[in-house]
Amino acid sequence: MDIATRWVELAALPNRGQAAVSAAIESCRLRLPFALLGPHSDHGTEFINANLVRYCAEHKVSFTRCRPYKKNDQAHVEQKTWTAVRQMVGYDRYEGEAAYRALEALYVPLRLYLNFFSPVMVLVSKERNGAKVTRRYDQAKTPYQRVLDSPHVGDEAKARLRTQYLSLNPAELLHQIEAGQEKIQVLGPPAYPFGNIRR
């Protein structure tokens, strides 16, 4: 997930090997409407490896990781993991080629729906007054709208996004998401069937 725009990319992994992770990152990088500045990972061995370090060096992007025993370093990613993955497919560990293909197919409409039609509020400030905590959020916008508002994204990329947006039908995307979830249900019972997206 991009912190500035809340743009999210999803990728299914056939395994946790170095080659599979690098291929997934490359796939996500090519789909981003802006340049990848660098991934930020946890301490999993699928990320902390020579292959990924070499990949980042070749593409001239930084590679950072969370601090040991500092779970909140991953707060933004974990929050999006909950809304974009756990609520959609649950906590079950799916294995095998069929599961990989089903997740891959589900993530295609899901990433489009989340980026183009799912508004996100970003926390602007948090004040504590005794036991009371007051949080203030900015105006709810989709990641697509945040990308269009960003001065760091080029006009050509924004034009491509506008064209893509006009080609999308949110109702059809929801239908595809539900169909994808039903296919995954056959492979094993997810914890939260159909998630929280509703027509």
191 pLDDT band, cuts 50/70/90, is: very low
Provide the residue ranges of all domains of the chain, joining segments of one domain with +.
18-187
pLDDT digits (tens, 9 = 90+) for 3-60: 888 899 988 888 777 778 778 888 888 898 988 887 766 666 556 666 777 777 787 8
Residue type for position 92: D
Strand partners, 125: 136
Buried b or exposed e, range 154-189, using 16+ CB within 10 angstroms: eeebbeebeeebeeeeeeebbebbbebbebbeebee
pLDDT digits (tens, 9 = 90+) for 126-165: 899 999 999 998 999 999 999 999 999 999 999 999 999 9
Give the three-state DSSP class for 65. strand
Place of tokens 């293909």: 101
Q: Which CATH code, of 3.40.50, 2.50.20, 3.30.420, 3.90.320, is assigned to 18-187?
A: 3.30.420
Number of Cβ within a 10 Å radius of residue 22: 18
Residue 13, burial from CB neighbour count under 10 angstroms (0-12, 13-18, 19+): middle
Q: Is residue 18 a contact partner of residue 49, using CB atoms and an 8 Å limit?
A: yes
Residue type for position 40: H
